[in-house]
Structure formats: C-alpha cells, structure tokens
C-alpha cells in the first residue's frame, strides 16, 4: 500500500525526512501544525538546494 505523500514532487527519501523531522519536533513539544510547517520548510529547502547543486 503506497504511503501518503505529504509534499508533492519530492523523493521518497525526502518524504521519510519529513516524517522524521515532524516526529522530532512533536517530541520537543511543538504543536502539530507548527511541527508540520517546520518539517515541510526543511525538506523543501533541502530539495531546492539539491536541485540547484545539480544545475550548477
């Protein structure tokens, strides 16, 4: 059964990274909405940096 994609157009590795960051933020006591926002921003930043490095 395919897993739910939280962020469109990112790799499976980045999807797992999102989950890991979100869980870590929740353990630190952040609200769910904020934890998801932090995780998404981090993964998108990583995705864009990887894409920019490839184009250089």
Q: Count of domains in the chain?
A: 1
Q: Report the mean per-residue pLDDT for the chain.
A: 88
Inside any domain, residue 5: no
Instruction: Quote the domain boundaries for residue 36.
Output: 12-55
Classify 8 as helix, strand or coil: coil
Inside any domain, residue 19: yes
Inside any domain, residue 47: yes
Inside any domain, residue 37: yes
Distance CA 50, CA 1 (A): 28
Handedness of CA 50, 13, 11, 25 (dihedral sign): negative
- Per-residue pLDDT at 1: 36
Q: What is the pLDDT of residues 35-54, one digit of tens each?
A: 999 999 999 999 988 877 77
Q: How many CA atoms lie within 13 A of 49 on its CB side?
A: 7
**Pick the residue with more confidence: 23 or 56?**
23
């Amino acid at each position: 059964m395919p897993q739910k994609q939280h962020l469109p157009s990112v790799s499976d590795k980045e999807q797992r990274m999102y989950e890991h960051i979100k869980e870590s933020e929740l353990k630190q006591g952040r609200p769910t909405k904020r934890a998801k926002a932090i995780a998404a921003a981090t993964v998108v930043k990583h995705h864009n940096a990887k894409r920019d490095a490839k184009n250089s």
